[in-house]
Structure 1
Amino acid sequence: MRAVEICEHYNLPFINFKCPIDELPDLDKVEQILKENQDIALVYTTHNETGTGILNPIKEIGFLVHKYSAVFIVDTISTYAMKPIDIEKDNIDFCMASAQKGLMAMTGLSFVIGNTELIKKSAAYPKRSYYCNLYMQYHFFETTGQMHFTPPVQTIYAARQALDEYFREGEESKWKRHSEVFEAIHAGLDKLGFKDIIRRDLQAGLGVTVKYPDDENWSFEKIHDYCYERGFTIYPGKTSAQNTFRLCALGAITKDDIEDFFVVLYEALKVNNIKIPIHYDA
């Protein structure tokens, strides 16, 4: 996990709470750790775990974090501007994202949304980074109206345009479109007989992690290339315990696009002599 690597790099003490990749974190265990380690100052988690598509219960975790007087940071890289977020109701102190994800702008611009009072308080903290110091950036904005360092101007203009388009579509309408795409993905997978590895009630609604078939003719590379040559991309899985691939509901796509994709995926399976419905040994 990248957060662990960051803590190790900066020699920060940490507790790495692990849970099975296909389950939600046990909130009782989360509280137990906080109760037994009341010197914990900060808790970090992801909103949507993109490797599996699971949605973490950030509101409930945040409640426990605040109960024990810690700061709660949520990685919303893959949910911001897609799945509706209310940082106050969801008990979030800080969240972050990148322009190329939910906003569908250009890469090269990341941002943090957070508690202003906590940012001001951090002015007295040890400076572990110069370029990425959040208070220094905030203070420079407040005193000069400028970014602390030379900004990526073209990327910022692209983000400005993306924000205009986001608000033109509207938060609820955008999430409705992503949800329709997500449901279309499941409908297509069900029709072909594929299995996903995460219970559907635990999924974030933005991506599906699919088990490889138990078929001797299955080849991710061949299926990927066939689809890619016809305008569609499937992503390799990120789980080490199972062989998987991923389908995403992100971007400026609609359920019609997904239906067109499954026509191509069906062709890819037939061309490669993969049994339909998809076969699993268990």
Structure 2
Amino acid sequence: MSKPQSQNEMNAGRLESPRLGEPFLLTPGPLTTSYAVKEAMLRDWGSWDGEFRAMTVELREGLLALTGDTEGVLDCVPMQGSGSFAVEAMIGSFVPKSGKVLVLANGAYGKRAAETVKYLERGLSFVDKGDYMPPRGDEVAAILATDPDITHVLAIHCETSSGILNPVKEISDAVEAAGRKLLVDSMSAFGAVDLDINEVRYEAMVSSANKCIEGVPGFGFIIACKDSLEAAKGNSHSLSLDVHAQWAHMNKTGQWRFTPPTHVVAAFLVALRAHKEEGGVAARGARYTRNRDVVVAGMRDLGFETLLKDRWLSPIIVTFFCPADERFEFTRFYELMKDKGFIIYPGKLTVVDSFRIGCIGQMDEHVMRNVVRAAKEALVEMGVADASPPEIALIERAKLAA
């Protein structure tokens, strides 16, 4: 077995090196962060202090700068908690109690959004495209034409259970043409995949600190139209997840309503500045795309097959079918990869076994070549000579060609 390489050895001179000796997180977040991001959490901050209020302003303004908003129609509301907290806050605050949401699902996170709508006792229309297929604009238009009670459509920008990048632009066009409102869960895409408000006309979108900006977990954020934020007053089911109340309080006092994750905010600002220095959304997305292309090409050379056709592959995370070889056992493969310095992600498919490799975080194409090399070594150690998937996997994937 080869000796695990440290992050410093594999990443030297290409990105700011993360802490020596930690494995790379090949996941859709939490992800591998820079040493500077970790170091920012070594200082304590007073949540009411002027310095921290200034940090909150920088955070909000920095995120708004990524939206394409030149008219000042949007505002940013950070919200304590994980990304799912922010999704629930968005649905509960922008969908009135009499509203109805069309949830477009093709994986676990669309299903979670639908479950959230049910918990909040809003009306629900649900489309489940399965593991392989994206929702399309013409489908959305047809549903909206037959159901005038639908007030909102919720789309997942990148469904990380499969790695599919959904066509939010055509969904947005259909929603706008029907006079309804779009909510976007861009949890794993914002910051690396363009979501320009001038192209994708959303009422609100959400993402999280520990995704493509490369911060650490602790808060999500809602970016929404100011007029919709005004209109959201009184909608929320929750005291702590009321986006309007958080927004109004921040604008009035400069403070979070309840105890903020101060260390996480400090780390996020370091990550946000690094994001800008790298070249913003375009450059971050280009690096992740190179990561994806290298790992996909290398894994295919080993015999692995991707769940998705190239057209739908996101630069965020890629799902691979597990090999048909009976000597392949995912748990053993996982441990071997971890021993070599890489933590991969289990699959979430319902039809065939799979695993996922994330492309985001403080990693570049040189790291991804080492991922492929580690996978090759792991197969050898398991006695797996052929990484080809079972036939049923390819039959299921063929549905994407339809």
Instruction: Tell me the TM-score normalised to structure 2 length.
Output: 0.68
Q: Which moved more, 1:249-258 or 1:31-40?
A: 31-40
**2:128 aligns to what SS in structure 1?**
coil
Of 258, 271, 274 in structure 1, the residue corresponding to residue 384 of structure 2 is 274
Q: Given the superposition, is the C-alpha separation of residues 281 and 54 from structure 1 closer, same or farther in structure 2, using an over 3 Å criterion?
A: closer
In the alignment, structure 1 residue 147 sits paired with structure 2 residue 256: yes
What CA distance in whole angstroms lies between the structure 1 residues aligned with 2:235 and 2:223? Answer: 21
Distance apart, 1:145 and its partner CA: 1.4
Q: Do 1:206 and 1:249's aligned partners in 2 also have CA atoms closer than 8 Å?
A: yes
How many matched pairs? 280
Q: Within 5 Å, which residues of 2 pair with 1:162-181?
A: 162-171=271-280, 172-181=282-291
Q: Which moved more, 1:23-32 or 1:34-43?
A: 23-32
Q: Given the superposition, is the C-alpha separation of residues 89 and 27 from structure 1 closer, same or farther in structure 2, using an over 3 Å criterion?
A: closer
What CA distance in whole angstroms lies between the structure 2 residues aligned with 1:56 and 1:175? Answer: 16
What CA distance in whole angstroms lies between the structure 2 residues aligned with 1:106 and 1:53? Answer: 21
Partner of 1:101: 211
Partner of 2:94: none
Identical-residue share of aligned pairs (%)? 26
What CA distance in whole angstroms lies between the structure 2 residues aligned with 1:126 and 1:47? Answer: 25
Stretches (4+) displaced over 6 A: none
What CA distance in whole angstroms lies between the structure 2 residues aligned with 1:91 and 1:204? Answer: 21
Q: Do 2:305 and 2:388's aligned partners in 1 also have CA atoms closer than 8 Å?
A: no
Q: Do 1:58 and 1:91's aligned partners in 2 also have CA atoms closer than 8 Å?
A: no
Unaligned runs of 5+ in 1: none
**1:15 aligns to what SS in structure 2?**
strand
In the alignment, structure 1 residue 199 sits paired with structure 2 residue 316: no
Of 66, 73, 83 in structure 1, the residue corresponding to residue 183 of structure 2 is 73
Distance apart, 1:26 and its partner CA: 3.6
Q: Given the superposition, is the C-alpha separation of residues 271 and 127 from structure 1 closer, same or farther in structure 2, using an over 3 Å criterion?
A: closer
Of 324, 334, 342 in structure 2, the residue corresponding to residue 232 of structure 1 is 342
Distance apart, 1:281 and its partner CA: 4.8
Structure with higher RCO (Cα < 8 A, 6+ apart): 2
Unaligned runs of 5+ in 2: 1-110, 392-402
* Alignment-mate amino acid for residue 330 of structure 2: F
Which string of whole-angstrom CA distances, capped at 9 and with x for unpartnered residues, describes residues 213-272 of structure 1? 110101111111011011112211011111101111110101110111111111110111
Q: Do 1:87 and 1:93's aligned partners in 2 also have CA atoms closer than 8 Å?
A: no
Of 265, 270, 274 in structure 2, the residue corresponding to residue 156 of structure 1 is 265
What CA distance in whole angstroms lies between the structure 2 residues aligned with 1:118 and 1:201? Answer: 34
Instruction: Tell me the TM-score normalised to structure 1 length.
Output: 0.95
Partner of 2:124: 14
In the alignment, structure 1 residue 5 sits paired with structure 2 residue 115: yes
Partner of 2:320: 210
* Alignment-mate amino acid for residue 184 of structure 1: V
CA RMSD of aligned residues (A): 1.3
* Alignment-mate amino acid for residue 11 of structure 1: E
